[in-house]
C-alpha cells in the first residue's frame, strides 16, 4: 500500500508540473518552425530532428523559471511510472504501431501508386506519428487533454489530404506541420497564461529547492 501511494503521489506531482502548457508551447513552436522550413526549402531541414534533443533542456529551464517558484518542486527519483504508467505507455505505443502497420498493409493490398500514397496516405502516417507522444504521455501521467491532442493530430492529417489537389506531398506535409504546430502553440500559450494567473509566485522560503 505505501508503494502504491507513493506512485500515486509521483503521478499527481508530474501531472501538476505539466499543467503550465510549456511543453505544448515548445513542441508547437518546433512543429511550426519545421513546417515553415519545409515549405521554404530551408537548408536547416536536416538538423530539425535534433531539436527533439534540445526540447527537454528548454522545458527544464522554463519550469525552473516559471513553474517551480509557483507550485514548488519535489524529486521523486527515477522510478516514476515504471510499472503502472509504463505498462499503459507500452499499450498505447503498441496500438499506434499496429495502426501504422495496418495502414501500410492496406496501402500495399490496394496497390496505391506513389502520387496517391505521398499526398493522401503519408499525411495520415505523419499524423499517427505526431499522435504517438501525446497519447503515450496521456496514459502515463493521466493528462486527459493529450488524448484530445492525439485525436486532433490525426484529424488534421485526414483534412490535409483534401486541402489542395495540386499540392505535392511536401506542400501537404508542410501545411500539416504548420497547422498542427500552430494550434498546439496557441493551446500552450492559453494554458500558460491561465497557469500564471492561477498560481502566484511563492515566497523565497517556499521554493528554496527550485534554485
How confident is the model over 168-211, as pLDDT tens digits?
A: 878 888 999 999 999 999 999 999 999 998 888 766 544 444 45
What average pLDDT is seen over the chain?
Answer: 76
57-72 confidence digits (pLDDT tens)? 998 899 888 888 887 6
Mean pLDDT of all residues in 102-114: 53
Residues making up the chain, counted from first to last: 211
Which of 7 and 106 is assigned the larger pLDDT? Answer: 7
Ramachandran class of 142: left when φ > 0, alpha when ψ lies in -120 to 50, beta otherwise = left
DSSP 150-175: HHHHHHHHHHHTTS-TT--HHHHHHH
Q: Decide: 74 and 207 in contact? Cβ < 8 Å.
A: no
pTM of the full predicted structure?
Answer: 0.73
For 101, 104, 108, 186, 203, the CA distances from 114, given in Å and listed in that order, are: 18, 13, 11, 34, 60
Residue 157, C-beta contacts closer than 8 angstroms, at least 6 positions apart: 123, 124, 125, 126, 127, 128, 130, 176
Closest CA to 82 of 144, 166, 3: 3
Residue 6 is predicted with a pLDDT of 64
Q: What is the DSSP letter of 77?
A: -
Q: What are the backbone angles phi and psi of residue 164, rounded to the nearest 5°?
A: -150, 110
Residue 132 is predicted with a pLDDT of 85
Tally of domains within the chain: 1
1-36 confidence digits (pLDDT tens)? 445 566 666 666 666 667 889 999 999 999 999 999
Q: Is the pLDDT of residue 150 over 70?
A: yes
End-to-end CA gap in the chain:
33
Residue 33 is predicted with a pLDDT of 94
| Boundaries of domain holding 182 | 2-210
Amino acid at each position: 500500500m505505501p508503494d502504491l501511494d507513493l506512485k500515486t503521489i509521483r503521478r499527481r506531482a508530474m501531472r501538476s508540473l505539466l499543467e503550465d502548457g510549456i511543453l505544448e508551447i515548445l513542441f508547437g513552436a518546433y512543429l511550426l518552425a519545421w513546417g515553415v522550413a519545409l515549405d521554404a526549402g530551408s537548408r536547416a531541414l536536416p538538423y530539425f530532428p535534433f531539436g527533439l534533443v534540445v526540447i527537454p533542456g528548454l522545458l527544464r529551464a522554463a519550469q525552473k523559471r516559471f513553474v517551480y517558484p509557483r507550485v514548488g518542486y519535489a524529486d521523486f527519483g527515477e522510478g516514476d511510472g515504471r510499472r503502472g504508467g509504463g505498462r499503459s505507455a507500452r499499450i498505447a505505443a503498441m496500438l499506434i504501431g499496429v495502426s501504422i502497420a495496418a495502414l501500410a498493409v492496406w496501402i500495399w493490398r490496394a496497390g496505391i501508386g506513389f502520387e496517391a500514397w505521398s499526398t493522401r496516405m503519408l499525411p495520415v502516417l505523419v499524423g499517427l506519428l505526431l499522435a504517438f507522444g501525446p497519447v503515450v504521455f496521456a496514459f502515463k501521467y493521466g493528462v486527459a487533454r493529450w488524448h484530445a491532442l492525439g485525436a486532433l493530430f490525426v484529424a488534421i492529417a485526414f483534412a490535409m489530404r483534401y486541402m489542395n489537389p495540386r499540392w505535392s506531398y511536401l506542400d501537404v506535409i508542410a501545411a500539416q506541420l504548420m497547422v498542427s504546430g500552430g494550434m498546439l502553440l496557441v493551446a500552450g500559450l492559453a494554458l500558460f497564461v491561465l497557469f500564471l494567473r492561477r498560481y502566484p509566485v511563492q515566497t523565497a522560503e517556499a521554493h528554496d529547492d527550485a534554485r
